[in-house]
Structure 1
């Protein structure tokens, strides 16, 4: 008889993008999206997709759980096919989990600008909806970085995501 037991584990994901400048071609047409939420009155981030650093960090954390890379070739192929919405990358990453249950997500965003306090709850709700988690299992903190890094100096935004999960059965 084989015993079945659960294994609990976590993975970390990271992403960062610099802000576009007015010289960048798509500057006026691209919004700033963070966690799938439109951030008003803020410059957009540079990237070949919508450059949502929060969702990209989430995708990388999920890739760490499943050991299947999404950002890179898979996401690049999706971009070339016209799929630039990072929510599609999250859905693709979630499909790789198979016998892995996502339990909790914790994000840390570093950005001097824009001020994020008022959009943290909407981001938590959007990410909870995407992942099927209860909003109480999606935590987001933000820091200005005190000017110590490029993100703390206002040149872009960085995000870390830690995802915890449970895998069953483990033999």
Structure 2
């Protein structure tokens, strides 16, 4: 078994939604990002890659590579899953926390769990998605951006 952790941040910018865990969540802003800026999936990919000492998401899907401009981050997650499986591992469980004052994550958490479990080929109870605020402190508290943290356990196939 191996454990990994991941973290991702994006600043808010123009737009009317954010992508979180593959779910389009209505919001007063979008995010500034090369891909779709899905902090949940980016943190999850970093955690999975870190668990196997494979670097980070930027190493495998560089933000200066035009192939990834506007990309659906589920593409990154599916490729990361393939890397895990090629090395004889699978996701045991993932615990993901979204950090923001808005948008509200709770109403969308179950839909995120379903999409993430499907992309990882695991049972729904292997994926947890929750949210917290920073009590109006820092960049997330000032509503300047959004962040996510992920912790994973990967186990042999």
Q: TM-score, normalised by structure 2?
A: 0.89
C-alpha displacement of 1:136: 0.9
Distance 1:94 1:78 in 2: 23
C-alpha displacement of 1:74: 2.6
Aligned partners of 1:62 and 1:163 also within 8 Å? yes
In the alignment, structure 1 segments of 5+ residues that lack a partner are: 1-7, 21-26
Matches within 5 A, 1:78-89: 79-82=65-68, 84-89=71-76
C-alpha displacement of 1:70: 5.0
Distance 1:131 1:79 in 2: 25
Which has more helix, going by share of residues? 2
Matches within 5 A, 1:40-79: 40-76=26-62, 79=65
In the alignment, structure 2 segments of 5+ residues that lack a partner are: none
Q: Is the partner of 2:24 in helix, strand or coil? A: strand
Matches within 5 A, 1:15-30: 15-20=8-13, 27-28=14-15
Give every structure 1 segment of 4 or more consecutive aligned residues whose post-TM-superposition deviation is greater than 3 Å: none
Instruction: Indicate the RMSD between aligned Cα atoms, in angstroms.
Output: 1.9
Distance 2:97 2:31 in 1: 17
Distance 1:74 1:68 in 2: 9
Q: Is the partner of 1:160 in helix, strand or coil? A: strand
The higher radius of gyration belongs to 1
Could you say if the C-alpha distance between residues 82 and 162 of structure 1 is closer, same or farther in structure 2, counting changes exceeding 3 Å? closer
Aligned partners of 1:70 and 1:89 also within 8 Å? no
Q: How many residues align?
A: 154
Aligned partners of 1:62 and 1:93 also within 8 Å? yes
Measured against aligned partners, the alpha-carbon deviations of 1:33-75 in whole angstroms (never above 9, x if no partner) come to 0000000234111111100000000110111122223522431
